[in-house]
Amino acid sequence: MKEELSCGTVSCQTNLDQNYWDNQWQKKETGWDIGYSSPAIEEYILQYPNKEAKILIPGCGNGYEAEFLWNLGFRNITVLDIAPNAVEILENKYKDKVGISVICEDFFQHEGNYELVIEQTFFCAIPTLLRNQYASKMHELLNENGRIIGVMFNRNFEKKGPPFGGSIPEYQFIFKKYFEIQKMEECYNSIEARKGSEIFINLKKNKMKANMGSFDRIIRLLIAAIIAYLFYIHYISGVFGIVLVVVAVVFALTSFIGFCPLYRLLGMNTCKKN
């Protein structure tokens, strides 16, 4: 059963699982495939200096960007796709290219650390309700000063997605919590079929900025101290006591560093404003 969700002017389907994408490959319904690496991405890679960088290409499809990178001397490339048929093609294609790792996995389950993630409209292939989770996951996967670069659609689509469109203001709202938006503008070197409908992005990972004010931190420390004392004198015990101790530890840690991940997800900040 397909559940439809409003996505602005588009309806999006929530059954975009491994079976869906593998079916697309089996039926050769891969209309997103332009047949070569994106010129905009190539132009960025040509000036990227670190050949030792760990690079991830999620939702990579035929992985043309991986071949372009490899031919330039990059040797720490991970390509990831959820569709087994796509992955089988990639494994055969790159079996003799040392330095390209091919993984069949859901992007949201992937673990790793990267300097660079290449985005080739993968973001526009996932349901819009997962977009904030995508931004958070990217922030988790990137090393300090890591970045996402690539292309996204800058339009809405009349037909049901995927792909799912959007606009620069929408994307800015999603990514500004996690990234410094160094570039998000109309792509001047899109392929002919996508001219005027793509943007190029260059997003640098934000460092954890304090989002807890002094009063907030003091309250948390007091609560943590009270819980610790009550547990120490056995006023609270058992499973309930252990759960409260875990809460106390979280409160204490977030108080010391002045940062609460939940606040970031909710867009909250209790720091005193100047």
When pLDDT is cut at 50, 70 and 90, the band that residue 200 belongs to is very high
Among 122-136, 152-166, 257-271, the minimum mean pLDDT is found in: 257-271
DSSP for residue 73: T
Would the pLDDT of 9 be above 50?
Answer: no
More confident residue, 31 or 59: 59
What are the boundaries of each domain within the chain? 4-205, 214-266
The whole-angstrom separation of Cα 82 and Cα 58 is: 9
CATH superfamily for 4-205 is Vaccinia Virus protein VP39 (3.40.50.150)
At 57, give phi and psi (nearest 5°): -125, 95
The per-residue pLDDT for 13 is: 45
Going by DSSP bridges, is the β-strand pair 179-186/142-153 parallel, antiparallel, or unpaired?
unpaired
pLDDT tens column, 142-197: 998 999 999 999 888 887 778 898 999 999 999 988 899 999 999 998 888 888 88
pLDDT of residue 183: 96
Task: Give 108's DSSP letter.
Answer: G
**Does an H or E element contain 198, and which?**
strand 198-205
Q: What is the mean pLDDT of the chain?
A: 87
Closest CA to 189 of 155, 151, 154, 157: 151
Q: What mean pLDDT comes out for the span 252-258?
A: 85
What is the pLDDT at residue 43? Answer: 96
Short-list 214, 267, 221, 211, CA closest to 247:
221
Whole-model pTM: value is 0.73
User: Which amino acid does the sequence have at 58?
Assistant: P
